[in-house]
Amino acid sequence: MYNEALAKKSANTIRVLAAEAIQKAKSGHPGMPLGCADYAFTLWDKYLRHNPANPKWIGRDRFILSAGHGSMLIYSLLHLFNYGLSMDDLKNFRQWESLTPGHPEYGHTAGVDITTGPLGSGFASAVGMAIAKRHFAAKTGLDKSSFYNPRIFVISGDGCMMEGCSSEAASLAGHLKLDELVVFYDDNNISIEGNTSLAFSENVAARFEAFNWRIIRCDNANDAAQCDAALAQAMVSDGRPTLIVGKTAIGYGAPNKQGKSSSHGEPLGEEEIAALKQNIGFDEAPFTVPADVRAYCDARCAELEKEAAAWDKEFQAFLDADADRAKVISSYLNTEVPANIAEELLKAAPLDKPVASRASSGTVLQKAAELVPSLFGGAADLAPSTKTDVKGGGDFSAENPAGRNIHFGVRELGMGLAGNGMALFGTAIPYTSTFFVFSDYMKPAIRLAALQKLHQIYVFTHDSFYVGEDGPTHEPIEQIAMLRTFPV
């Protein structure tokens, strides 16, 4: 059913919708949606398993726009794929209370699986999604099924690649061999201030290779056929996460702005939009999806719905085959917590003699882990001190994804953002842990968790300024005030 000519025209439709919505809003970032339209449409059309009729469908792959400033890319896709975003919603881009805010917001727009905007955070949370998926599949036997294997697709830009959090996360993902991760790197050599050569000259592919990632090169990711070939290759795992290094031109199609940082973050201007449309052979009125593109996407949506229904049947048969297993699956999917949990945890807390609060916390955590199968987490190399190991839970690893204790390594920000991804995946109540003073290193992640209203637990021990021999670097002073100012 895939039709290269119509896929190309659909990608061009994304370009025009993005440019027009940003022009109408008088603000936004056209360069990235224009540059990534070919890859993103090919992905959504041919490879992404999703179900527009049910955005929360559990068999779905996840799509993460880590380069969140390119929000008109995902909004155009959600419109074309009938996720309920109307043309009026696109016309209201960036307006107060619209469904199309400046950066994608989880829980606000159907089909947006994560809030992004702070660069690199989406990438790092994708790693958490993959961890949660691995664990859920291993704990429920779904890893042995032929039908359950959601992939996590990410689009990242130069900014994401420059941020430290993506390096932390990529290092962990490569170590854990999370081969369900397929990240597209929009390698367009441009960021806000100009050419990336101003500040960024390393070999990103070589860095990721060293992280134990597979590199797939796409020398012209403004050619749908090349995107298709790269994705086809990415679908066959070699046991490592995949980075598709895609060469694009920022602002592709806009004849006077293509390849220039001037297309990054301001409207193209009416004249340039007219030139773009002429260049790509579009003569429709503003905010119009050509009829053949509409029909093509509608037909694909109908197919996707059928594919999802077939998947649901297999899943139901899997549940029906084993009632006990079905119960376990449900406890994860619903992140079930017993109604009397507070009572049970209080009972578990040692009261007979004075103990350090972290020891008490550790005892309570054992009980919580017993009562809540989906409770899943770990520490940034401080578990022996923060008392967060679940006894008998085993270590989470590439070889043992059923393990319950995640060793995040000394990567607090990566851990915090992975925790967000774990919560967003929908099958885990994550906890993460370090010394209270190092919550500083997790602050951007905690803020995003708060904005997304995620159920995440942080275990911060050594919370007294009077920590003693470690000295002033380990004394938490302003951290409590910082945490208290988060939106909840």
DSSP 473: G
Q: Which is nearer to ligand TPP, 119 or 459 (CB)?
A: 119
The CA angle 322-326-114, to the nearest 5 degrees, is: 145
Reading the block at residue 163, the tokens are 């941020």
Q: Please say if 412 is a catalytic residue.
A: yes
Q: How many residues bind Mg ion (CB under 5 A)?
A: 5
Total number of residues shown for the chain: 488
Among ligand TPP, Mg ion, none, what does residue 119 contact (CB within 5–8 Å per kind)? ligand TPP
- How near is the Cβ of 284 to ligand TPP at its closest, in Å? 26
Binder to Mg ion among 158, 180, 272, 412 (CB under 5 A)? 158
Residues in 102-121 at the binding interface with ligand TPP, rule: CB under 6 A: 117-119
Binder to ligand TPP among 28, 30, 31, 128 (CB under 6 A)? 31
**Binding span for ligand TPP by CB under 6 A among 189-197, 220-228, 268-276, 421-429:** 189-197
- How near is the Cβ of 191 to Mg ion at its closest, in Å? 5
Q: Under the criterion CB under 6 A, does residue 65 sit at the interface with ligand TPP?
A: no
C-alpha distances in Å from residue 261, one per residue of 78, 195, 228, 292: 26, 7, 27, 33
Q: Under the criterion CB under 6 A, does residue 69 sit at the interface with ligand TPP?
A: yes
Q: 434 — alpha (psi -120 to 50), left (phi > 0) or beta?
A: beta
Residue 414: half-sphere exposure toward Cβ, Cα within 13 Å: 22
Which residue in 105, 168, 180, 412 is the catalytic one? Answer: 412
Radius of gyration of the chain (CA): 23
Binder to Mg ion among 188, 335, 374, 452 (CB under 5 A)? 188
Among ligand TPP, Mg ion, none, what does residue 69 contact (CB within 5–8 Å per kind)? ligand TPP
* E-state strands within 40-157: 62-65, 152-156
Residue the block writes with tokens 């859920």: 136
Binder to ligand TPP among 99, 152, 190, 375 (CB under 6 A)? 190
Beta strands across the sheet bearing 152-156: 62-65, 152-156, 181-187, 242-247, 214-218
Q: Which is nearer to Mg ion, 203 or 485 (CB)?
A: 203
CA 161/CA 105 separation, integer angstroms: 21
Q: Which is nearer to Mg ion, 150 or 157 (CB)?
A: 157
Residue the block writes with tokens 């932390």: 168
HEC string of 255-277 equals CCCCCCHHHCCCCCCHHHHHHHH
For residue 379, report the phi and psi dihedrals to the nearest 5 degrees.
-135, 165
Q: Which residue is nearest to Mg ion (CB)?
A: 158
Among Mg ion, ligand TPP, none, what does residue 192 contact (CB within 5–8 Å per kind)? ligand TPP
* E-state strands within 340-445: 375-379, 405-407, 429-435
Q: Under the criterion CB under 5 A, does residue 259 sit at the interface with Mg ion?
A: no
Binder to Mg ion among 120, 157, 246, 378 (CB under 5 A)? 157
* Binding letters toward ligand TPP, positions 123-162, x by CB under 6 A: ----------------------------------xxxx--
Q: Which is nearer to Mg ion, 247 or 462 (CB)?
A: 247
- How near is the Cβ of 36 to ligand TPP at its closest, in Å? 9
CA 34/CA 54 separation, integer angstroms: 28
- List the beta bridge partners of residue 375: 429
Among Mg ion, ligand TPP, none, what does residue 300 contact (CB within 5–8 Å per kind)? none
C-alpha distances in Å from residue 468, one per residue of 251, 383, 388: 56, 20, 22
* Residues engaged in binding Mg ion (CB under 5 A): 157-158, 188, 190-191
Q: Which of the residues are catalytic?
A: 412
